[in-house]
Amino acid sequence: MANVRLEGVKKAYGTIEILRNIDLTIDHGEFVVFVGPSGSGKSTLLRMIGGLERISGGRLLIDNEVVNNVDAADRNLGMVFQSYALYPHMTVRENFAFPLRMAKMARAEIKTRVAETSSLLQIDHLLDRKPRQLSGGQRQRVAIGRAIVRQPKVFLFDEPLSNLDTELRVQMRVQIAKLHKQLGNTMIYVTHDQIEAMTMADKIVVLKDGNIEQVGSPHDLYHNPASRFVAGFIGSPKMNFLDGHVEAAHEGGMDVKLEAGATVSVPVQPDQRLVGKPITLGIRPDDFSQSPAQETDIAIELDVDFVEHLGSVTYIYGNAGKQTVVAKAPKPAPPKGSGKLRLAVSPADCHLFTSNGRALRRLRAPADWS
């Protein structure tokens, strides 16, 4: 096991800066997910940790040692990529054993490790097959096994599930999370899929345009997004954003007049400088309830376009004034597919974002905080 620390880490290709001043600490045994849109720098960051890309500035420490100039092979990391890169002419057993033989490990020890790894991943019955005789999911497990068998300090995964179909992806997600529990190793996992990030991570690092937008637990990022970008990126369906402007700032928060009509007093850190300025109110689709639930609730009048029944949940799509809104249908009444609907939102569940996308700090935990 090992910790990983990045101090002011930079990457540039010529004059183009890909990553700027990355500061990050990853603790022993943590499962950290780098998430962000395509091109945000996730793979580059992971490859620098893995020693596959040179670092243009700053320091990278593994187990408290600076490794900027240490070769990939000497960093003792296990890497798994989207393309499995198994040796096609070798059986699964040989795929596992080959790197250990190259490292001059004793035969008995190799045998033990191969047996342990295949039993951990439940692929004992596949040991004598070649990669072409395996399904996509089985190949992926072999690729993971090949990383495990070397007992690395840290595992690095780069979108390892992208080539699998949805069902298998969900299964493998659970398998990898279980594996992390069993092995207890530090794991760094890259994905563009926020659901993977939310379900697997102890700590999520959100990247955007080569910068860290926010670092936090899945719960933190969902309930206290630091920016409009994170608020929109984490959570599905996406948070709703309603335009308005600030009418007043006082001890209890900020009063916002929405273009859609309602006035809301949101309990956030007040800022007098924002009075009169445009502001965006954020509401998660889950935070709507049947109107009116509480006296302090704000009412949002929705022109319903479409209702989507998914079995366990129903989503309502519509417009509030000029803005589109998605709401999880409050129980018990399943709404009709069109017409007007009045929904309520508790001000404590609302988020506010300034015109530059910064979130105002919420003064109290929302009602469902646990």
- Scanning 37-45, 234-242, 254-262, 331-339 for contacts with ligand ADP by CB under 6 A, the matching segment is 37-45
Q: Do β-strands 65-66 and 57-62 pair in parallel, antiparallel, or remain unpaired?
A: antiparallel
Contact pick of 40, 138, 175, 346 for ligand ADP (by CB under 6 A)? 40
Closest C-alpha to 144, from 165, 128, 130, 123: 123
C-beta of 41 vs 225, nearer to ligand ADP: 41
Q: What is the DSSP letter of 85?
A: -
208 three-state secondary structure? strand
Helix, coil or strand: residue 198: helix
Does residue 43 interact with Mg ion by CB under 5 A?
yes
Residue 67, number of CB atoms within 10 A of its CB: 20
Stretch that binds ligand ADP, among 40-48, 62-70, 129-137, 174-182 (CB under 6 A): 40-48
CB of 14 to ligand ADP, least distance (A): 8
- The three-state secondary structure class of 166 is helix
Report the residue from 9, 18, 33, 60 that binds ligand ADP according to the rule CB under 6 A.
Answer: 18
Question: What minimum distance in Å lies between the beta carbon of 40 and Mg ion?
Answer: 9
Say how far apart CA 283 and CA 264 lie, in whole Å: 12
In the chain, helix, strand, coil percent, each to 5? 30, 35, 35
Q: Does 38 bind ligand ADP (CB under 6 A)?
A: yes
Burial class (CB in 10 A: 0-12, 13-18, 19+), 14: exposed
Q: State how far the Cα of 49 lies from the Cα of 64, in Å rounded to an integer.
A: 13
Residue 141, amino acid: R
Is residue 175 close enough to count as binding ligand ADP by CB under 6 A? no
Q: Which does 18 bind (CB under 5 to 8 A by kind): ligand ADP, Mg ion, none?
A: ligand ADP
Residue numbers 245-274 binding Mg ion by CB under 5 A: none
Query: At its nearest, how many Å lie between Mg ion and the CB of residue 159?
Result: 6
Q: How far apart are CA 23 and CA 51, in angstroms?
A: 17
Task: Check residue 306 for interaction with ligand ADP (CB under 6 A).
Answer: no
Of 40 and 240, the one with the shorter C-beta distance to ligand ADP is 40
**Rounded to the nearest whole angstrom, what is the least distance from the CB of residue 38 to ligand ADP in the complex?**
4
Q: Which stretch binds ligand ADP (CB under 6 A): 33-41, 72-80, 118-126, 318-326?
A: 33-41
User: Among 43-51, 62-70, 136-144, 303-311, which window interacts with Mg ion (CB under 5 A)?
Assistant: 43-51
Pick the closer one to ligand ADP by CB: 13 or 369.
13
Looking at residue 330, the DSSP 8-state letter turns out to be: P
Long-range contacts made by residues 365-368, C-beta under 8 angstroms, separation at least 24?
Answer: 365/223, 366/223, 366/287
Min CB(352)–ligand ADP separation in Å: 29
| Measured CA distances, 360 to 92, 236, 267 (Å) | 53, 22, 10
Pick the piece of the chain touching Mg ion (CB under 5 A) from 41-49, 51-59, 76-84, 299-307: 41-49
Structure tokens at 67: 């490794």
Interacting residue with ligand ADP among 33, 36, 264, 329 (CB under 6 A):
36
> Which residues in this chain contact Mg ion in the complex, by CB under 5 A?
43
> Which residues in this chain contact ligand ADP in the complex, by CB under 6 A?
13, 18, 36, 38-44
